[in-house]
Amino acid sequence: MPARDIDRADADLLSEAARAAGAVLLEWRARGAKVWNKGGTPVTEADHASNALLHDHLRGARPDYGWLSEETLDDPARLALRKVFVVDPLDGTVSFIKGKDDFTVAVAVVEDGRPVAAAVYNPVRDEMYEAALGGGAWRNGTALKVGAPAAIENCRMIAAKDMFQHPAWPQKWPPMDFLKIGSIAYRLALVAADVGDATVALSTKSDWDIAAGELIAAEAGARVSAHDGSTFVYNRRSTHQRSLLAAPQPLYDALSARLAPIKLPSSPTE
């Protein structure tokens, strides 16, 4: 299925906005952004500046689309709209605060609960990942394709090493090559780019963490779902997603066999 013209146009719009927001993040990092806590998690002046730019840029171009962002008070009017911008203006705030290079801007257009256009931008590395449904995934103009690993042993896993070493696992995990990345969206983009083979998270994530990266990884050939194989549905009353598993199909199957039986606390579905 080729990408629709509107999805391609939306992907271009998202990329343009994400690049501009990335420049704002770098400006704030250079001068030192104030940091405070919001619900137990850090937030900075840079988060809010990026969010404001993205809102003006995206809603200015598509005023009929809804808006869902980590840094905007939720407006339930979005639930009545078929198309919604799903935005994380600074994914990986802790990495940003610590001066690391693995934070991103993540933006998506969701239509009827599923992503149809996406951009994930790492401003430090100047890496733009983008996708439109049916049109493939791209990094700085180069088409992306996932690798073809089948075995868990020695795979390149983008996840918390401690999670796999927890004593509660019924079966010990084989050795893996772990890569630590702060931004969930960037984890998914790196799977798409074959920098990592898989990513797993067994804690609750939000729509804005996953929507953009899911489309990019899927368009590069990965399978992306919750750990139990359930498909993500975005723009519901709850913005929570239970977990995350993304990998090329053979490795996905091997990981799923171990992960799917794991019972996690329920997340609201509406």
Residue 264 forms part of a structural domain = no
Residue 149 maps to a domain: no
Specify whether 126 is located in the same domain as 194: no
Residue 71 tokens, joined: 């840094």
Q: Is 232 helix (H, G, I), strand (E, B) or coil?
A: coil
pLDDT of res. 161: 95
Q: Say how far apart CA 106 and CA 104 lie, in whole Å.
A: 6
Same domain, 60 and 174: no
* pLDDT per residue as tens digits for the range 255-265: 999 999 988 87
User: Which of these, 163, 155, 114, 183, lies nearest to 264 by C-alpha position?
Assistant: 163
Per-residue confidence (pLDDT) for residue 270, from 0 to 100: 39
- Which residues of the chain are modeled with pLDDT < 70? 266-270
Whole-model pTM: value is 0.96
Query: Under a CB-based contact definition with an 8 Å cutoff, are residues 107 and 16 in contact?
Result: no
* Per-residue pLDDT tens digits for 196-222: 999 999 999 999 999 999 999 999 999
Number of domains comprising the chain: 2
- Domain with 38, as residue range(s), is 5-143
Helices (H) and strands (E) counted in the chain, each on its own, are 7, 16
Provide the pLDDT for residue 267. 52
